[in-house]
Amino acid sequence: MPDSVLSPVSTLCLAILHRGEATGYDVKKESQDGDYRYFVDASFGSIYPALARLAADELVTVRDEPQVGRPARKVYAITDKGRSALLDALSAPPGPDIFRSRFLLVSKFAENLPAEVLRRAVEDRRKHLEDEIAHLAGIADECPDSPALQWITDYGRACLGASLDFINARGDELVATAQDVKDAAE
């Protein structure tokens, strides 16, 4: 009965706490810089209330840690109940990945947009992908001990790599279908 389906943010918190203690601030960092970006990018406005609720439900414990010159940290730790709730949640069928791309919408309207807009969009995309790939490499290097983490970063690199390859190989082709290709031939 205590399996009142976890919200994404709560799941994120538990997942991070599974590794060890953390504060709300830490959770936020992990979710945007760490190896949880592919899952959710949560803001404080959702993390703090989520942690409070997890504590109320006894899935985590809190410890107040006063500091000099700074506000006291609230250090959270996962409980056994929390651990099993997480594993339960993870055991449910994960459903399809979510992929949302404004870039593809822009691409679709290539014929109706100025070449310059397309050029910038493609350039942006290339850069985003390169950054992501570099970032993944960094994560993988940090913990070479976990086979699961190696697997997911390899997976990420396979997908992002294919994406980048495609952009490199056929980005120009997209720009060439733009509305006003004429001024590119000058």
Partner DNA sequence: TGATCCATGTAAGCCGTTACATGATTGG
Partner DNA sequence: CCAATCATGTAACGGCTTACATGGATCA
Q: Is 20 in the site for its own copies (CB under 8 A)?
A: no
Work out whether 165 is an interface residue with its own copies (CB under 8 A).
yes
- Position among 64, 102, 182, 185 found at the interface with its own copies (CB under 8 A): 102
Cβ proximity to DNA: between 33 and 173 the closer is 33
Closest listed residue to residue 7, CA positions, set 21, 99, 15: 15
Local structure of residue 113 (DSSP, 8 states) = S
Determine how β-strand 73-78 pairs with β-strand 60-65: antiparallel
Cα–Cα distance for residue pair 111/9, rounded to 1 Å: 40
Q: Which of 6, 9, 13, 15 binds its own copies (CB under 8 A)?
A: 15
Task: Tally Cβ neighbours within 10 Å of residue 53.
Answer: 15
Return the residue of 137, 143, 162, 184 that touches its own copies, per CB under 8 A. 162
Among 111, 141, 144, 185, binds its own copies (CB under 8 A): 111
Number of residues that bind its own copies (CB under 8 A): 61
- Angstrom CA distances, 178 to 106, 109, 117, 118, 155, stand at 11, 8, 9, 7, 33
In the shown chain, the binding pattern of residues 47 to 86 toward DNA, with x for contact by CB under 7 A and - for none, equals: -xxxxx--------------xxxxxxxxx-----------
Q: CB nearer to DNA: give 50 or 136.
A: 50
Q: Which of 6, 35, 46, 76 binds its own copies (CB under 8 A)?
A: 35
Q: Cβ closer to DNA: 58 or 154? A: 58
Query: Is residue 31 within a helix (H) or strand (E), and if so which, with residue range?
Result: helix 24-33
Measure Cα distances from 105 to 87, 100, 111, 118, 132 in Å: 37, 10, 12, 11, 21
Find the helix packing angle between 44-56 and 24-33, rounded to 10°.
130
Q: Does 43 bind its own copies (CB under 8 A)?
A: no
Binding positions for DNA, rule: CB under 7 A: 7-9, 23-26, 29, 40-46, 48-52, 67-75
